[in-house]
Amino acid sequence: MHIQWYPGHMTKTRRMMEETISLVDIVIELVDARIPYSSKNPDLDELAKNKHRILLMNKSDLADPAATEIWTKYFEEKGFHVIEMNAVKGTGMADVTNAARALMKDKIEKLRARGRINVPIRAMIAGIPNVGKSTFINKYVGKTTAKTGDKPGVTRGKQWIKLKKDFELLDTPGILWPKFEDQQVGLKLAFTGAINDDILDAQTLATAFINHMMVVNPDCIRKRYNIEFDTIAEPHDVLRQIAEARGFKLKGDEPDLERASKILMDEYRGGKLGRLTLELPEDINDMLAEKEAREKEKAQTDKARKAEYKKRKK
């Protein structure tokens, strides 16, 4: 399955972020704790390379706690201030303001020494679609200021939100990046709902998810649907078992795979399959090593072709 989703408004969003990044001191990025690497926009690292960075591991209540701890250490070693968060319940909210003030302490003290007392801390809030950004802002501010929804792409324009006299937040629309270098990243984004379901075939997505879980944690599917299968089973056959276990039938007593597919993905996203993290740093290291090997092989092939071309010209 080849996944790519980059609506036109995302190009406009990136341009707007490039134009306004100079106005902020801190970039606060939300990622999905179930897929911390895949839900982290690599473009932001370049865009915010000279800014303080706070990384919010949202939906941590849906992720494996041990895996979240591993990811927290991973990102802290890369210079991020990491906060585990559940935006729906408000867990971790107070830590955001404290972290921002701590990061800006030296600058604030220097400004006060010059007589500038009420200069606010300005932060940009960023993240991919459907990662919980609007829910976080609404909870953080204490009133509904940003639209929320269960479909990616709800927020479409930037808006400044004044939290207190010393803190201002620039909200931005959810943004992906133009090309997924690894299709596993695209799949994980689709699993969690960061990519619009309307562009994907439900059965194809569900069988891809089953295939992934056979490696990560097959027991979560076995226990949820009270079915049995081995890890070399065809994902399509597992999907049929899910449909039969739930009694989803079409005319002619055929299993309703479409309905089973939608139920499976809904229940995963709702945490009913358990607290699941779909990737670990070691998986990413393997992926990056494979990418490096592919790029090296391509460079060698290109070099050989150029040499052959020059030889023929002579």
**Is 132 within any annotated ligand binding site?**
yes
Q: Both tokens of residue 288?
A: 């990056």
Q: What is the largest CA-CA distance in the chain?
A: 80
**Is 247 within any annotated ligand binding site?**
no
**Is 22 within any annotated ligand binding site?**
no
Phi, psi of 89 (to 5 degrees): -90, -15
Output the CA angle 70-73-78, nearest 5 degrees.
Answer: 130
Output the CA angle 20-23-25, nearest 5 degrees.
Answer: 120
**Is 174 within any annotated ligand binding site?**
yes
- From the list 195, 136, 161, 174, the residue with the least C-alpha distance to 13 is 174
Q: What proportions of the chain, in percent to the nearest 5, are helix, strand and coil? A: 50, 15, 35
Whole-angstrom distance, CA of residue 82 vs CA of residue 138 = 20
- From the list 200, 206, 306, the residue with the least C-alpha distance to 262 is 206
**Is 58 within any annotated ligand binding site?**
yes
**Is 60 within any annotated ligand binding site?**
yes
Q: Is 46 exposed, middle or buried (0-12, 13-18, 19+ CB in 10 A)?
A: exposed
* Beta pairing class for 121-127 and 159-164: unpaired
Sign of the CA dihedral with 263 first, then 267, 268, and 269 last:
positive
The per-residue b/e assignment along 239-254, b for 16 or more CB within 10 angstroms, e otherwise, is bbbbbeebebeeeeee
**Coil, strand or helix: which one is 122?**
strand
**Coil, strand or helix: which one is 124?**
strand
**Helix or strand run (H / E) with residue 68:** helix 65-76
Residues 6+ apart with CB under 8 A from 166: 118, 120, 121
| Binding-site residues | 58-61, 130-135, 174
| Binding-site residues for GTP | 58-61, 130-135, 174
